[in-house]
Structure 1
Amino acid sequence: MRHRTLPPLALALGVALTACGTAEPKPLVTESPEPPTPSASATAAAPPTALLPTGDPEVVAADLDTPWSVAFLDETALVSDRDDGDVLELLPNGGTRVIGTVAGVVHDGESGLLGLAVDDQDRLYAYSTGSDGNRIERYTLTGAPGSLALGARETLLVGIPAASNHDGGRLGIGPDGMLYATTGDAGDRDDAQDLDSLGGKILRMTLDGAVPADNPFPGSLVYSYGHRNPQGLAWAADGTMFAAEFGQDTWDELNVITPGGNYGWPEVEGIEGDGDYIDPVQQWNPDDASPSGIAIAEGTVYIANLRGAVLRAVPVADPGESTEYYAGEYGRLRAVTAAPDGRLWFATSNTDGRGDPADDDDRIFAVTLG
């Protein structure tokens, strides 16, 4: 693990060089057609009230190893290191320090320490792979920024199917105060349609890991099912829940999630018009997308794409459209989050074994919305 503290001058120089070497982003706008035809390129202006990325992204952290998720404790960013199981604190000068290591993390392929979330009681939730499957744990956070540490650990959920791929792993605390988690089918596609399995689902639980009384299936954590490998999770201002999902070979998806909804995997993939399943609101070829983390800011869904190596923006009011930013400029993108300072942060994933890392990868960037 490399944890480098950058002197302020070096950090400023790195930012300046990045700004000089990167042209103003030229968005490519696509419009999702009627099903089942794939998206076609089109020119469309952003809604006049939208705030979209403007200017060159600033490097806020560099020399990271396999960052997977970014969560904020007030103004302080916490980053998960997938392979080592470390939780990092991002320091004001761009350096990092390890605040603790999630015990028993097993890294194999895509598994390891994945999603993080922080609640309003300053407790950290972590989704990780252990020897007996994926699990969700909660930690108290001790100390102050600059000296944070992981405190007592509580295990909320175990037994989520795990494999070297299709582990899901995104955590989010919804506007209803509940904890949500995305899970993959872990290579057993039939699990996605099995309501007795935790694989291939979006789960909903209380912050203590209990089943909420108003979940769609009594006594079950399952909130929606028929998912292959969802890794993006976010809510619009009106409470609408969006999720992004890796497809097999045909279509990646952006879905609007409804309680108890069946999203079709493995029976269907992408927009099929089959009344038994809920269609995505937009789909992309996996070569152009492979969506991982998503965030919603200023009425726009932002999607970090791995194989597509692009930050994609989808208007909440018209989720059949999309706009691309920074295509191919920073490599694979794993996570995106709305930061407390109003900027949009996104993290690369070029050291995950599938990318082509630059000398200072992996990096986290921040861009102004305006």
Structure 2
Amino acid sequence: MGVELSWPEEWVILREKLTSFEGTILVVAPVDRGKTTLVRLICDFFRECGRSCALVDSDLGQSVVGPPTTVGMLPPGSQLGSQEALFTPYFRFVGDTTPSRHLLLTALSVFELVQMARALSQVVVVDTCGLFRGLEGLYLKMLKIKLLMPQLVIGLGNEEEFRVLKVLKGRDFLILPTPEGVKNKGAEERKARRKLLFAEYFSRGRKLVLELSRLRLFAPLSPYFYLQQALQAEWGMVFKVGRKRYHLLCSEKVQQDFPLEERSGYWLLPEDMNNLLCCLYSKQLREIGLGIIRKIDFAKGKMEIWGTTLSQAEPHFVVCGDLKVNPQGEEMGRLSWKILR
């Protein structure tokens, strides 16, 4: 872990409650309350007691397990702060640094990894993101509590902040105060940390050239992306997601001469997808790493990707996220679709 942590006086009471604990612990709080520090202390406590402990990290923007934009799982025996944490093969791709547009996907990703972790360890600790206030934050936290059914929920703050959530767990919802000295991190500091993580992750990357027909859009919930229709057309490609259509056009001129009967949905040009973060999946629909789309070539029917793969399996499907980033870790905005009129 690197720096050795000590228990703040405000949290020492928790140690007694954990003495004979087995099961799942969910830690919730707004930003900058010390969630990650508490999670590290809890994991260390159980390991010192000789009990196996796994960590599921669902803080998409400030992850300590897996690269940003993913939910990651660190199995028992692995070390936080190490490369094995960043390059964990146990991850689910959400594709953005905030879950606000992907609440259900985030909650289900956490559920899948917690189920996996429960099969490996006596204790599972779940760290959550700072999206807490408002309906989005409440909905996400309630989803996680309902899906995971944790034996203990720990909130950092005051009673009033957790009034609604505490109804779900009653006496199994423990509220701890925020300890003195917790540092408030600004948006730029958070972004700088993500840059370092992305840069380290993609330093292991390599150039991949894949068939354009392997590209899929949105909702990386296996096997949903596999069922999306990706059809080649004279103007480029059309992706059918339910009743919606998303067109990847080969040129701006094509958009002007687009057939009237196809004028519905949204469109992009190939260059709009440059630097788009994506997830690489094996033929068996398993996540094997993240990539960055570098170039789409309609003439050759190929796409060039800078990708980091964590298994021997070769990439078969490419599922897009929302965030754009370069191999040096710099964030370059988000994907924005245009309405086809």
Could you tell me the TM-score, scaled by structure 1's length? 0.24
Could you tell me the TM-score, scaled by structure 2's length? 0.26
Bigger Cα Rg: 2
Return the structure number with greater helix share. Answer: 2
